[in-house]
Structure 1
Amino acid sequence: MTLPAERSPDRRMSGLLPRLLLAVTLLVPTLVLSVQAWRGTDEKAAFAERERAGVEYLRALGQITLALVDAQSAAVAGQPVPRDALNRAVAEGGTVDARLGTELRTHERWAGVRAKIESLSDRSHTYPEATYTAYTEATDLLLALYAKVRDTSGLVRDPDPDSYQLQDSAGEELPESIVAAGRLADLAVLAPARPRAELVRTAGELSNARAEVLDPAHDLVTNLQLAVDSTDSGTLGGNLLGELDAYQQAVEALGAAATLGTGNPTTDDALPDPAAVAAARVVVHTAAAALSATVLTEIDQLLEARVDGLGTARLVTVAAGVALFLIGHAPLLVFLVAAGRRRGSAAPPAPGAGPSGAAGDPAPAGRAGAVARHWPGGTPEPPGPGHPTPANTTPAPKQWEHSGAAR
C-alpha cells in the first residue's frame, strides 16, 4: 500500500499566509483601541494628580490669607502686628511654590504677592487709611493667585459635581468671605475717625462690605449643600455639615453686628460698634479656617479615590486588550499548535530502512508485492524447494552444465 506524500513546504506556507494576514488585520485595531483607552485613562489620571497639586497650593494660600487678614486688622487698629505667623505662612507658601510653581505656572504671581506682603512690614501705621489701602492691594493680589491656581491646576474644570462644588467653595467663596470680613471690620474701625462730611460715603462702603461678606457666604452654603447631595462619598456630609452650620452662624452674627443704625447717616449713631464687629470677625475667621481645612481634605480624598480607580481601569484595559488579542488570534494559534504536532509525529526513517520502515528489508515490488530475484546475468532463478513455480509461468528449460567429460 502506497503512503501519501508529506505536504510540501509551499503548501504549508500557502495555508499559513492567509492566517497571518487575518492575525495582522485583527491585531492592528486591537492595538489602536487599547492604546487609545490607555492614553485616555492616563490623561485623566494626570489631570487628577495636577488637581491634587492645586489643592495643596490652595491649602498654603489659606494659611497666608488668615495670617494676612489678622495682620491687616491689627495694623489698621494700631495694634502690634503678628508678623511671626505671617512670616511662617509666607515661608511655607514659598516652599510649596518652589515645588509646584513650575507645573502650575505660578512663580511670577507668587513673586508679586510675596514682595507685596514683605513690603508691608516697612510701612508706617501712623496713617490707618494708607495701611488699609496697602493691605487691600496685597489681599487683591492674593485672591488673584487663588484664581490662577484653580485655573492652571484644572480644578475649575473638574468633571465631578461634588469635587467641583468643593473646589469652588475652598478656592473662591471662602477666601473672598474671609477677606471681606476683615475689610468690614477694618472699615468699622476707620469710620468713626473720618470727617463727618464723609459719613455718608462711609455708610455706603460699610453696606457694600457687609454684602461682600454675606454674598460669598450664601454661595458657599449653596455649593456645599449641592456637593453633599451629589456625592457618592459616605463621609462628606457628616464631616462638612457641622462646620458649615458653625460658619453660617458666625457670618450671620457678623452681618448683624455690622448693620447700620436707623438714625441719621450723618451722625455717629448710624455706624456699627467697631469692637462688636471685630469680635464677630474673629469668630468668622476661626470657623472659616476649620471649614476650609475640611473642604480641602475632602477634595483631596475624592481626587485620590479617582486616581486609584483610574489605575484599576488601566489594568482592565490591558486585560481586555490581551483577551481581544487571544480571541482574535485563536484560529492562528490552533493552526500553529496543530502544525507543530504534525511535525513532531512525522519522525524520519532509520538509516538503511526501506520504504516499509524495516531496516535491511527491501520493500516488495510488483503487482502482488513479491520481488523476483535474478541471477547476476539477469536470468531468473529456477524454482526449486522453497521456491515454487509462480502461477501462469512455464518452467525454464534445464541448463546442462558444460564439462569436458560430457559431449
Structure 2
Amino acid sequence: MTVPAPRARRRPSTLGRLLPLLLIGALLASVGLLLTTTWRQTTEDRDLAVRERLGVQYLSALGSVTDALVEAQTAAINGRPVPGEALTQAVEEAAAVDARIGVELLSQERWAGVRARLEALRGRSSADPESAYTAYSEVSDLLLALHRKVRESSGLFRDPAADSFFLQDSAGQELPEAVVAAGRLADLGTLVARRPTAEQPRGLMELTGLRVAALGPATDLVDNLRSAVDGSESTDLGANVLTPLDTYQRSVEALAAYSTPASGTGTVDPDQLSAAGLNTQRAARQLQPVILGELDALLVERIDGLDRDRWLTAGAGVVAALLLGWLAALQFSAGRRARRRAALAATHADSPDTSAAVDLWKPATGDPLGRQPVAGDARGLQPVAGDSRGLQPAGTARDPETAQWGAFDAAR
C-alpha cells in the first residue's frame, strides 16, 4: 500500500493576510469618526451653555439698570428729585460686566451708546415732564434693544431645552418690556391728568394703547413661567418661581384695573395708577433674580452633564483604541506564526526523504529484528539453498542455525 506524502500548506495571499488588518483599521476609523462627532457636538453644546451663562450675567446687570431708569423716570415726571445714586451704581455695575464679557457678547458698542444717553439724563432738568417722558422713553427703547442683543449674541434665544428657553424669554424679553411699559403707563396717567381738558380724550386713547402694550408682555411672562414649571424636571423650579410669580400677577391685575377709565367719569385716578405701577415694579424686581437664578442653575446642571458625556466619550475612545490595538497585535502575531509554519513546511517539502511516497509492502532490507546486514555476511543477502525437505546438498557443510529449522521447513 502506498501512502502519499503530506502536501505542503499553501501560503496565504497578501490580500488574505492584510484583510483582517484592513477590517480592524476600518472599524477603528468608524469608531473614531463616531466618537469625534459626539465629542464635537458635546463640546459645542457645552460652549453654548457657557456662553448663555455670560448672557445671564449681563441680563442681570441690565435688569438693575432698567429698574433704576424706570424709578428715575417716575421721579422726573412727578417733579421729585431724581435718585441718581441708584442709577449711577447700576450703570457702573453694568459697565464692569460689559468690560469683562462685552467683547465676547458683541455688546460694547451698544452699551457705549446706552451709557452715553444715561449720562446725559443726569443733568437734565425736570421742569418739563412731557419732554422728560420722551427722553426717558428713548433711552428705555435703547436699553430694551440691548437686552435683545445680549439674548442673540449669547445664544439664549436658541436654548434647546424647554424650561430654560421659557425662563430666558421671560427674563430677557417679557419682563424688561413689561417693567418699562408699566412705568410708562403709570407716568402717562399722571401726565394725562395734568393736560388741558381738550387734550384729555387723546390722552385717554394713548393710555389705552399703552395699557395693551403693558399687559401683553406681562401676560406672556406669566404664561412662559408656568410653561417652564410644567415642562421642567427640576423640583425646585416650581417652588421657587410660583410664589413671586403669583405676587407679580396680582400686581399686574391691579395695574390693569386702575388703568381702565371709570365708566361714569371716563377718567383714571393717577394716584391709584401710580401706586399700582410702583407695586408692579417692586414685584418684578423680586421676580427677576429668581428667574435668572433658576436659569443659571439649569445651565450649570447642563454643563456638568455635558462634561460627564465628554469624559465618557473620551473613555470609550481609549477603550476602543486599546481593544482594536490588541486585536491588531493578535492578528500580527498570528500572521508571523503562519509565516513561520509555511517556511518550515516548505523546507520539509524540499527534502528528498519526504518527496516520494512510501511503499508499505516493500520488504525491508536487513534482519527482521531491524539489524542491518554486515559486510561479508551472505546470510542476510542470499536465500538459503537446499531441497524441499530442508536438506543441504551433498558435500556442503550444514549451518547449525539452518539445521535447527530444517524439519519445520520440510513440514511446511
TM-score range, shorter chain: 0.7 to 0.9
Q: Does 1:271 align with 2:267?
A: yes
Aligned-pair CA distance for 1:242: 0.7
Tell me the CA shift for residue 302 of structure 1: 0.7
- Residue 374 (structure 2) pairs with residue 392 (structure 1): yes
- Kindly indicate whether the alpha-carbon contact (under 8 Å) linking 1:213 and 1:251 is maintained by their aligned counterparts in 2: no
**Following superposition of structure 1 onto structure 2, how do residues 5-404 of structure 1 map, counting pairs within 5 Å?**
17-263=18-264, 269-336=265-332, 391-394=373-376
In 1, Cα distance between the equivalents of 2:17 and 2:278? 82
* 1:255 CA displacement: 1.7
* CA shift digits 1:258-278 (9 cap, x unpaired): 221224xxxxx5332222222
| Aligned-residue offset at 1:29 | 1.9
* CA deviation profile, 1:301-332 (whole Å, cap 9, x unmatched): 11111111111111121222234334545532
Q: Secondary structure at the match of 2:142?
A: helix
Aligned partners of 1:188 and 1:271 also within 8 Å = no
Shift of 1:294: 0.4
Deviation at 1:19, TM superposition (A): 4.1
SS at match of 1:270: coil
Q: 1:292 deviation in Å?
A: 0.8
After TM superposition, the structure 1 stretch with the greater mean CA deviation from structure 2, 253-262 or 129-138, is: 253-262
> For 1:210-251, what per-residue CA distance to the aligned partner results, in whole angstroms no more than 9, with x for missing partners?
222222111111111111111011100111111110000011
CA contact under 8 A between 1:167 and 1:296: conserved in structure 2? yes
Q: 1:305 to 1:341 in 2, by over 3 A?
A: farther
Contact kept, 8 Å, 2:251 with 2:283, in 1: the verdict is yes
Task: Show the counterpart of 1:363.
Answer: none
Deviation at 1:189, TM superposition (A): 1.4
User: 2:311 is aligned with what amino acid?
Assistant: L
Q: Distance in 2 between matches of 1:215 and 1:11?
A: 80
Letter in 2 for 1:199: Q
Report 1 or 2 for greater relative contact order, CA contacts < 8 Å, sequence distance ≥ 6: 2
Q: Count residues with an aligned counterpart.
A: 341
Name structure 1 gaps, 5 residues minimum: 1-6, 264-268, 343-366, 368-388, 396-407
**Contact persistence 1:163–1:302 (CA under 8 A):** yes
Specify the structure having the higher radius of gyration (Cα). 2
CA–CA separation in structure 2 for the residues paired with 1:46 and 1:55: 14
1:7-48 C-alpha deviation (Å, 9 max, x unpaired): 9xx999998644443332222222222111111110110011
**2:81 partner SS:** coil
In structure 2, give the amino acid aligned to 1:117.
L
- Asked whether the equivalents of residues 21 and 331 of structure 2 are also in contact (C-alpha less than 8 Å), the reply is no
What per-residue deviation string (whole Å, max 9, x for no partner) do you get for residues 60-88 of structure 1? 01000000000000011110111000000
Contact residue 186 and residue 273 of structure 2 kept, 8 A: yes
* Contact in 2 for aligned 1:261/1:272 (Cα 8 Å): yes
* Distance across 2 between alignment mates of 1:17 and 1:257: 86
CA distance in 2, matches of 1:285, 1:214: 13
Work out whether residues 257 and 272 of structure 1, in 8 Å CA contact, stay in contact via their aligned partners in 2: yes
* 2:211 partner amino acid: R
Match of 1:91, SS state, is helix
**TM-score with structure 1 length normalisation?**
0.78
Query: Bigger shift: 13-22 or 136-145?
Result: 13-22
Listed one character per residue, the Cα deviations across residues 287-310 of structure 1 (whole Å, up to 9, x for unaligned) are 101111101111111111111111
On the 8 A contact 1:191/1:271 being kept in 2, the answer is no
- 1:391 aligned partner, one-letter code: P
CA distance in 2, matches of 1:337, 1:87: 77
Native 8 Å contact 1:64 1:86 kept in 2: yes
Taking the aligned partners of 1:16 and 1:110, their CA distance within structure 2 comes to 68
Q: Is the 8 A contact 2:157 2:168 kept in 1?
A: yes
- Contact 1:173–1:220 (Cα < 8 Å) also in 2: yes
Q: Per-residue displacement from partner, 1:97-127 (whole Å, max 9, x unpaired)?
A: 1111111111111111101111011222111
Distance 1:304 1:341 in 2: 56
On the 8 A contact 2:248/2:283 being kept in 1, the answer is yes
- Structure 2 unaligned runs (5+)? 1-8, 339-352, 354-370, 378-412
